[in-house]
Amino acid sequence: MTQGTPAGSPRHHWVVRVTHWVNVVALSLMVGSGLRIFNAYPAFARKGETFCCYPFEGMAIQSWLTFGGWLAGARQWHFAMMWVLVVNGLIYMAWVYLHGEWRDLVPRRGDLRDSVEMVKYYAFVRKDHPRQGKHNALQKAAYFALPWIALLTVVSGIAIWKPVQFAGLTDLLGGYTWARYWHFVSMVAVVAIAVGHVFMVFAVDPYALRSMTTGGWSERLSPEARNARPFINLKL
Amino acid sequence: MNRREMIAAAGATFGSALLTACDSTGPARAAGALTFAQHKNETLERALFSHRSRDRVAPGVGVAGDKFPSYFISDRVPIWDAAMRGAWRLEVGGMVSRPMAFSLDDLMRLERQTQRVNHYCVEGWTAVADFTGVPVSALAAACGVDPASRFVDFESFDDGYHESWDIESAMHPQTIIVYGKDGSPLSAAYGAPARVHSPVKYGYKNTKYLTRVMFLPAANGGYWSDRGYEWYGGL
């Protein structure tokens, strides 16, 4: 039995649905323009030094993954879209807090064990889908971790935006070079979670596309009810 | 159209829109919104700006030396031709009570400041150097700048290159007219005889091969700011 969604009410509140799709657009444009900015100097080393921790120093990102056309164009998009992303994120976080939705997302005792069970289930070690609340334990972990990683992206972004005015913040992150690195690495983590999320939507729960657009949803189509694994039991 | 076709159609539309968008500058209609955001950002950046802020280079970090990239817009390294143009002078004019023309020796007799700072390039790299020169604020005081002057234009003999600044950034304690780098006289590759340098502005704002410093009532654009880069370019 999936909790948190009374019969007849939308699976996701309209605030969640709207902020979700605004986020898709804003995040895509931020990542694309950010990669275009990165391509102006696709490395981290201070001039005259080497950098320990990036194996692809000097290798440009494929241009089809970038947005903005050139450095100045990408910067214009990046510094405009950042407000959309941050304001949208704050609206979502405020709603999650005020509406009590955080109860479906904050980790609790037993989540680690449930995550192991989910992995065992996906690996065919376990036969039946573990029981879950609104989200399974792996989803919960991803949806909970995402805002914190995104927060690191925002804070490190502020540090490289104003490394002199906010010198204390930049120092806290290890200086400009490291702040730029954390900005990049945390972005990669956000993208990795987003890619995993999109894969799971199409491979396990395509009905989530409906519940995230119209809100429409049916208990009997849940992955738990369908006993769905990636590409298995997509239909009832 | 059933639901499956609908999803496929929506996916195809979104996907092709995404592919068209790749590495483009985006829809032309967005230009107005982008300019609006840039102006709002500049207002915020100027509010955040403080003369108490300092760029810091961590202890143990050395200078880039000749790994410091060299950049100019002319075809060759710009070198002041004294035979053709007379002895080099740095003119300070505009809204000042005492317009002056400084020789390099004159500049060196003014207040001298040496600082180890980061050079922030808009491309994303940084380079550290020990810069020696005279604070722009000292130059302004020597020439008696009109308090009504709100902007400064730094002009060069590098094929018309120039960039204008807000006066607050120009008066920052780490904004200096540089004539020495890493303990040696500034070389032609890095903007000799003199350049402006400040860690509070991106490299493209830091005009090299200086000829004139003009105190102005209004901003006067700049080489890269007229070509799409933010005019403010502050850090």
pLDDT computed for residue B36 by the predictor: 94
pLDDT computed for residue A234 by the predictor: 84
Which of A56, A76, A104 is the last residue before a domain boundary? A104
Q: State the Cα torsion A38-A44-A46-A49 to the nearest 10°.
A: -140
Give the whole-angstrom CA distance, residue B77 versus residue B92. Answer: 24
How many Cα atoms occupy the beta-carbon half-sphere of A93 within 13 Å?
Answer: 13
pLDDT computed for residue A61 by the predictor: 96
Nearest to A180 among B48, B124, B234 (CB): B124
**Secondary element (H or E) of residue B205:** none
How many Cα atoms occupy the beta-carbon half-sphere of A209 within 13 Å?
Answer: 15
* Position A137 in a domain: yes
- When pLDDT is averaged across residues B169-187 and rounded to a whole number, the result is 98
Under a CB-based contact definition with an 8 Å cutoff, are residues A22 and A53 in contact?
no
Nearest to A171 among B49, B50, B56 (CB): B56
How many Cα atoms occupy the beta-carbon half-sphere of B49 within 13 Å?
Answer: 21
Give the whole-angstrom CA distance, residue B6 versus residue A49. Answer: 54
Under a CB-based contact definition with an 8 Å cutoff, are residues B190 and B72 in contact?
no
A119 and A230 in a common domain? yes
Give the whole-angstrom CA distance, residue A190 versus residue B4. Answer: 29
- Which of the four pLDDT bands, split at 50, 70 and 90, describes residue B18? low
Q: What is the mean pLDDT of chain B?
A: 93
A225 and A116 in a common domain? yes
Q: Which of B157, B36, B124 is nearest to A40 (CA)?
A: B124
Nearest to A165 among B49, B61, B118 (CB): B49
A120 and A94 in a common domain? no
pLDDT computed for residue A235 by the predictor: 79
How many Cα atoms occupy the beta-carbon half-sphere of A83 within 13 Å?
Answer: 12
Residue type, B202: Y
Q: What's the pLDDT tens digit per position in A158-207?
A: 999 999 999 999 999 999 999 999 999 999 999 999 999 999 999 999 99
Altogether, the residues listed in chain B come to a count of 235
Under a CB-based contact definition with an 8 Å cutoff, are residues B66 and B182 in contact?
no
* Position B175 in a domain: yes
Give B191→chain A minimum CA distance, Å.
Answer: 18
pLDDT computed for residue B15 by the predictor: 61
The two tokens of residue A18 are: 């709207």
The two tokens of residue A203 are: 């491979």
pTM of the model: 0.91
* Position A2 in a domain: no
Residue ranges for chain A with pLDDT beneath 50: 1-2
* Position B76 in a domain: yes
Give the whole-angstrom CA distance, residue A125 versus residue A149. Answer: 31
pLDDT computed for residue B126 by the predictor: 97
A123 and A82 in a common domain? no
Contact: B227, A167; criterion CB under 8 Å: no
A231 and A114 in a common domain? yes
Mutation target to probe the B interface, by most B beta carbons within 10 A, among A165, A173, A177, A211 is A165
Rounded (5°) CA angle B78-B83-B84? 70
pLDDT computed for residue B64 by the predictor: 96
CA A60 to chain centre: 23
Q: Is the pLDDT of residue B3 over 60?
A: no
Give the whole-angstrom CA distance, residue B180 versus residue B190. Answer: 10
A205 and A129 in a common domain? yes
Residue A165 CB partners (closer than 8 Å, separation 6+): B48, B49, B50, B53, B200, B234, B235
In degrees and rounded to multiples of 5, residue B132 shows phi and psi of -120, 135
Omega within 30 of 0 (cis) for the link into B193: yes
- Tokens 């696709």 — which residue? A42
Give the whole-angstrom CA distance, residue A147 versus residue A163. Answer: 23
Under a CB-based contact definition with an 8 Å cutoff, are residues B118 and B231 in contact?
no
* Position B36 in a domain: no
Contact: B125, A75; criterion CB under 8 Å: no
Q: Domain range spanning residue A125?
A: 110-236
pLDDT computed for residue A218 by the predictor: 87
A118 and A62 in a common domain? no
Look at chain B and report how many structural domains it folds into: 1
Look at chain A and report how many structural domains it folds into: 2
* Position B4 in a domain: no
Q: Is the pLDDT of residue B158 over 70?
A: yes
Q: B104: domain CATH number?
A: 3.90.420.10
Which of A80, A104, A128 is the last residue before a domain boundary? A104
Which of A76, A104, A132 is the last residue before a domain boundary? A104
pLDDT computed for residue A9 by the predictor: 80
A99 and A205 in a common domain? no
User: By the CB < 8 Å criterion, does A221 face chain B?
Assistant: no
The interface pTM score, or ipTM, of the predicted complex is 0.89
pLDDT computed for residue A1 by the predictor: 43
A224 and A186 in a common domain? yes
Give A8→chain B minimum CA distance, Å.
Answer: 20
pLDDT computed for residue B7 by the predictor: 58
